[in-house]
Amino acid sequence: MPRVVVDVMLKPEILDPQGQAVANALPRLGVTDVSSVRIGRRIEIEFTGQPDLDRAREIADKLLANPVIEDFSVRVAEAGDTAEGNP
């Protein structure tokens, strides 16, 4: 199924307390070489026909992201671009 992926992240200058919480929890797992964790959103949009990047960009701009505080990018998903790949 043709699919578009929209990635939405808080702009770099906006503090992300939930990411900070994960970062702060890492030393207890013995992880000391992580400098930053940022948590955003990944949205997968399936089209019935050809994936339409312009449409997806419009959807992202209106319903998925707040451009004042967030950046987003839109791309057609390639094979393997899925969250199901974990063993």
Q: Does 33 bind its own copies (CB under 8 A)?
A: yes
Q: Which of residues 17 and 79 has its CB atom nearest to its own copies in the complex?
A: 17
Cβ–Cβ under 8 Å, residues 5 and 57: no
Q: Does 53 bind its own copies (CB under 8 A)?
A: no
Burial 2-31 (b: 16+ CB within 10 A, else e): ebbbbbbbbeeeeebeebeeebeeeeeeee
**44, 53, 76, 79: residue in contact with its own copies (rule CB under 8 A):** 44
Taking only Cα atoms into account, the Rg of the chain, rounded to an integer number of angstroms, comes to: 16
Give the residues lining the site for its own copies (CB under 8 A).
1, 7-9, 12, 14-29, 31, 33-49, 52, 55, 57-60, 62-66, 68-74, 82-86
